[in-house]
Structure 1
């Protein structure tokens, strides 16, 4: 990488960074890389239905202030090619393939919602690849989910300017105000925005998430295989993947910390973006 490239990357934000592509095993992955060119990269694994531009710039840019951060579209999502898998195991394999294509020997993972399930699978199977793990608004295998019920309710609220308001935030005025601010931040980028592939992605992602949570794992085999330090984060009133999941993961993991944010839903990391960035940075630097 040239000095110019390094300087450009350091100065880039989620809103301004170019979308790059890397190809292997028949898949062309779309991604954006922010922050310094050296250090352990933090790879972001996105939520159900989300793409690169569904991340909160305040979160991504804040995390990239002192470390490399990589946001990408897994197979079939956004501008990445291929068919989105309908199971967590295949999603994890594709994410590992992407990380290896970038030539990264070790990474930190931040998995949000569906991405948190994928992150668990990766960390359990690839202990040397993953240094530290952040699990946000997610569930263990066999955990509790209310995806379809909550989606139906959210889409019925036609007065909402964006379905993410009822999905990610509580009904309180403070949470709704934070939600509107998040939506404004997420829409700043206008050029080279990521693409929404609709049901071709979400139908298969929904099957993967629902199957993951419907598959019993009474011995918590996946969680007990994770030896890395883990930060578990949840909103107090997450209706999609309730906070009981966070506590269950915290208890089953061998080396975990638990953070619960008040008066917040599935999008707690966006509602409390400054606090979340601070907590993650402290955890990664410890």
Structure 2
């Protein structure tokens, strides 16, 4: 089995009329950890430092959901169908039980999957995300990030303006671009537009009593950046307060990509959480 995100072959699994692209890392034992990606993100948008670090002692699956990256199909404009597509893929892999790591939009998907019995979810990590009805500034933040004409839009989008955060951002971008062959194609409007609609609708949806969060009984680790401009940190606190078994960690001087800025620390926290 391949040892790194940069060298792992992209595999394909056809189910439910969709040809899903995925990569599998780590030992083929224990409860697999399924990674659910952010807005417009593909397999190659993940930080190798995070994925490879987690894969040292557990089975990691990174994949492109329907219509994203190298997967076929079309991108749904609602989180519910995106969750259903992810469940279709995971069921086809034949796992009896999984752990979930959802980043940003992936965190929305993870919440839905954990709240219902379609799949058996053991534990969940939610990073840089928001509850249904949470606060979001997606379009404003994305537009502002592109206006800065940075080397990579993720530098202003995922990291704070501080020198420390930007240096960490540069290191992340270098790691994320390290794979040069068999990379996923970049996302275009066919992906960004329906995903943006799904995010806006999720946060505009009304769930004043946090019924969805209260339905999640699995142990959950919530990780957030102190200065996340896309999904402010109040979202993380609201999730923490509403859920029955949640732990909250907020990293200092960090934005939406806090898990990448503090990659080694994040990996350590996730491993401790999953192994406890």
Query: In 1, distance between residues paired with 2:123 and 2:43?
Result: 22
Per the TM alignment, residue 194 of structure 1 is displaced from its structure 2 partner at its CA by 0.8
Equivalent-residue separation in structure 1 for 2:19 and 2:33 (angstroms): 20
Structure 1 gap ranges (5+):
1-8
Q: CA deviation at 1:247?
A: 0.2
Q: Secondary structure at the match of 1:200?
A: helix
Structure 2 match to 1:210: 200
Equivalent in 219, 227, 235 of residue 217 of structure 2:
227
Instruction: Write the mapping of 1:1-286 to structure 2, written as runs, cut at 5 A.
Output: 9=1, 11-126=2-117, 129-158=120-149, 160-286=150-276
Query: What is the Cα deviation at residue 99 of structure 1?
Result: 0.3
**1:61 positional shift:** 0.2
After superposition, give the CA deviation of every residue in 1:66-108 in whole Å (9 maximum; x if it has no partner). 0000000000000100000000000000000000000011000
| CA–CA distance in structure 2, aligned partners of residues 12 and 103 of structure 1 | 22
Question: Aligned partners of 1:157, 1:187: CA distance in 2, in Å?
Answer: 20
Whole-Å Cα distance in 2 between the matches of residues 179 and 123 of structure 1?
31
- Per the normalisation by structure 1, the TM-score is 0.95
RMSD of aligned Cα (Å): 0.8
8 Å Cα contact 2:42/2:64 also seen in 1: yes
Structure 1: which 4+ aligned runs deviate by more than 3 Å?
none
* Alpha-carbon distance between aligned partners in 1 of 2:119 and 2:112, rounded to the nearest angstrom: 13
Q: Compare 192-201 and 55-64 and name the one that shifted more.
A: 192-201
Distance 2:258 2:13 in 1: 31
Q: Is the 8 A contact 1:127 1:226 kept in 2?
A: no
Give me the whole-angstrom Cα distance separating, in 1, the residues matched to 2:197 and 2:249: 28
Residue matched to 1:6: none
Residues of 1 paired with 2:145 and 2:119: CA distance? 40
In 2, the alpha carbon distance for the partners of 1:165 and 1:220 equals 33
Per-residue deviation, residues 130-165 of structure 1 (Å, max 9, x unmatched):
00000000000000000011011101101x101000
CA distance in 1, matches of 2:254, 2:184: 27
CA distance in 1, matches of 2:261, 2:117: 32
Mapped to 2, the partners of 1:213 and 1:72 lie a distance apart of 24
* Structure 2 residues without counterparts, runs of 5 or longer: none
SS at match of 1:16: coil
